[in-house]
Amino acid sequence: MIDQLAEINELFINGPRFYLQNVSVDNVIFGYHEKELKVLLQRPQTFTRWILPGGFIKKTETAESAATRVASQRTSLENLFLQQFKVFSKPGRNRDELYTADNLKQLTGWDIPPDHWMLQPFVSIGFYTLTEFSKVTTNGSFYMEECTWWDINALPALMFDHAEIIAEALKALRIHLVHFPIGYELLPKKFTLPEIRTLYETILEKELDDRNFSKKLLAAGIIEKLDEIKKIKGHRSPFLYKFNRRVYLDALKEGMMVP
Amino acid sequence: MIDQLAEINELFINGPRFYLQNVSVDNVIFGYHEKELKVLLQRPQTFTRWILPGGFIKKTETAESAATRVASQRTSLENLFLQQFKVFSKPGRNRDELYTADNLKQLTGWDIPPDHWMLQPFVSIGFYTLTEFSKVTTNGSFYMEECTWWDINALPALMFDHAEIIAEALKALRIHLVHFPIGYELLPKKFTLPEIRTLYETILEKELDDRNFSKKLLAAGIIEKLDEIKKIKGHRSPFLYKFNRRVYLDALKEGMMVP
DNA sequence: TCAATAGTGTCTCTTAGACAATATCGC
DNA sequence: GCGATATTGTCTAAGAGACACTATTGA
């Protein structure tokens, strides 16, 4: 916490010395767990609306490192693979009636002049990633009262253009999903066919034919059947499968159509 | 020219007031003409290496408008559709042994202090577009001695990380090409089958089967055969075709596999 | 008639997508 | 046996890709 406080002081006071100005990163961290797709949002203590986890880029790091750093400061997630998907640059995009010098002063205790660098226009580089949200512990940063998951279909009121950023990230995720396999980081080592199919169905918000779906993944060699079943009460127990890591990674590189 | 000079003065002196700092746009403008794929580059008067047409973003415009503005300042191209493809942010990416305060002073006549805002680190938003290069007249900007087309396979020495930006843009263009039709802005209203096939072959740097290629475009309805031929000396004259604009635009929206 | 290029059809193989009956488990 | 869910195969249609001969023009 000391470190974090020191970093925040540095940010407010010495920001322009260490950080790039007029550019930020915003992370859309999608979390999946048991048929639900969620997004990680945070709310600064004194604000009534929510924001994406985001931050500024140090002069000594890439945008990707900045996005990864921001994500791991807010959550227990290390080494997330965050993917650039779009730059948002509409003039006025980071003006918001809540985001004023007064409110920032109230939030931080610092005296923020109206021309403070953080109140300047910013273009934001959007990143997204997909993770298993039950594994994530969120640690709200110093000024953040809350940092929690929200269902993708029931988002709270957001600040700035962050609703638009989430919408664009979802579009990007779905396009990505159709061309590349997903699931390696999201499912347990051993999983069932209904589990992986439901994952796809949840993200795409449409039903997939069970026969065709498994046929395709098996034919491609992406997943392999194990000699075990998962005990489930009340009905037939499903077989377990595992990813073939090599084929999976090849498909990631080369691309393939999935659903 | 007066306008341009005024703008450049404003840029050097009042840059931080009107322009975003630490962010720029760089345009990879691909030009196609008769089996050749080229890239538009410029060279500042006193420099020995080349750069991409690029510039800064005004606080009152989007990154897209900035890219379009820059492109139309350097060429006769208005309303180009420039496509964001990646942000480049490696620390030190815009350091270059040629790009020093001294050299900038020599180039511009202005007294550039070593901590001038243009010498600060910049992340750059990469845009690309594809155009017919025979239609383009280049007007080098004030400090640019030359602004010319270079063959994609014989690029000159470049400054900064611009060689990498071009390589990434080409990757993006090729992926785009496989999923969406191109050619509308690149070919004359009436064109022949060999012409459009050669366009694809040039960009992809591989041969396409002439029968399958035409079959596909015709079956999709993207192009339509006309009742005219193009007179060519020395051998059989090819038929002319035109795009079906509606189908073409639909394919642009929906995506399709082309080659 | 030759050189150069354009035009065109068929076959095979793979894949996408539609579709429904049977198996297992726990109660 | 029943309720709940998992598993699995076949058929058809469309598309991808391989492949080679004929047509036209002008010199």
User: Token pair of B120, please?
Assistant: 């600060």
What pLDDT tens digit does each residue of chain B (259 aa) get?
456 666 777 777 777 889 999 999 999 999 998 899 999 999 988 889 999 999 999 999 999 999 999 998 888 888 888 999 999 999 999 999 989 888 888 887 788 888 888 889 999 999 999 998 888 887 766 677 788 999 999 999 999 999 999 999 999 999 899 889 999 989 999 999 999 999 999 999 999 999 999 999 999 999 999 999 999 888 999 999 999 999 999 998 887 766 5
pLDDT at B224: 95
Q: Tell me how long chain B is.
A: 259
Q: Which residues of B in 122-151 have their CB below 7 Å from strand C's atoms?
A: none
Question: Which residues in A lie closer than 8 A to residue B64 (C-beta atoms)?
Answer: 89
Q: Which residues of B touch A (CB under 8 A)?
A: 20-23, 57, 59-64, 84, 86-87, 89-91, 121, 123, 125
pLDDT at A259: 60
Report how far residue A57's alpha carbon sits from residue A60's, in angstroms, rounded to the nearest whole number. Answer: 8
Q: List the single residue in B with minimal CA-CA distance to A20.
A: B22
Distance, C-alpha A75 to centroid of its chain = 11
**Residue B176: partners with Cβ closer than 8 Å, 6 or more residues away:** B83, B182
B207 touches strand D (CB under 7 A): no
**Strand D contact nucleotides, protein CB < 7 Å:** 3-10, 15-20, 23-27
pLDDT at B5: 65
List, in sequence order, every residue forming a beta bridge with A29; answer none if it has no partner.
A129
Strands of chain A, DSSP E: 19-33, 36-44, 54-58, 83-88, 123-132, 144-151, 223-229, 239-243
> How many angstroms away from the CA of A252 is the closest CA of chain B?
15
List, in sequence order, every residue forming a beta bridge with A55; answer none if it has no partner.
A25
pLDDT at B196: 95
Query: 3-class DSSP state for residue B121?
Result: coil
**DSSP secondary structure of B89-108:** --TTTT--TT-SHHHHHHHH
Name the least confident of A49-63, A108-122, A155-169, B122-136. A108-122
A215: nearest nucleotide, CA–C1' criterion: D8
Span between the terminal Cα atoms of chain B, in Å: 45
Residue nearest to nucleotide D10 (CA to C1'): A211
Question: Which residues in B lie closer than 8 A to residue A161 (C-beta atoms)?
Answer: none
Any idea what DSSP says for residue B168?
A: H
Q: Do B86 and A91 touch (CB under 8 A)?
A: no
**Strand C contact nucleotides, protein CB < 7 Å:** 3-10, 15-20, 23-27
The Å distance, CA of A236 to C1' of C23, is 8
Assess whether pLDDT exceeds 90 at residue A172.
yes
Assess whether pLDDT exceeds 80 at residue A59.
yes
The Å distance, CA of B235 to C1' of C6, is 8
Amino acid at B14: N
Q: Decide: B59 and B53 in contact? Cβ < 8 Å.
A: no
Report how far residue B40's alpha carbon sits from residue B133's, in angstroms, rounded to the nearest whole number. Answer: 9
B216 touches strand D (CB under 7 A): yes
Report how far residue A194's alpha carbon sits from residue A239's, in angstroms, rounded to the nearest whole number. Answer: 10
Any idea what DSSP says for residue B191?
A: B
Q: Decide: A146 and A140 in contact? Cβ < 8 Å.
A: yes
Side-chain-side CA neighbours of residue B32 (13 Å): 23
pLDDT at A233: 87
pLDDT at B141: 65
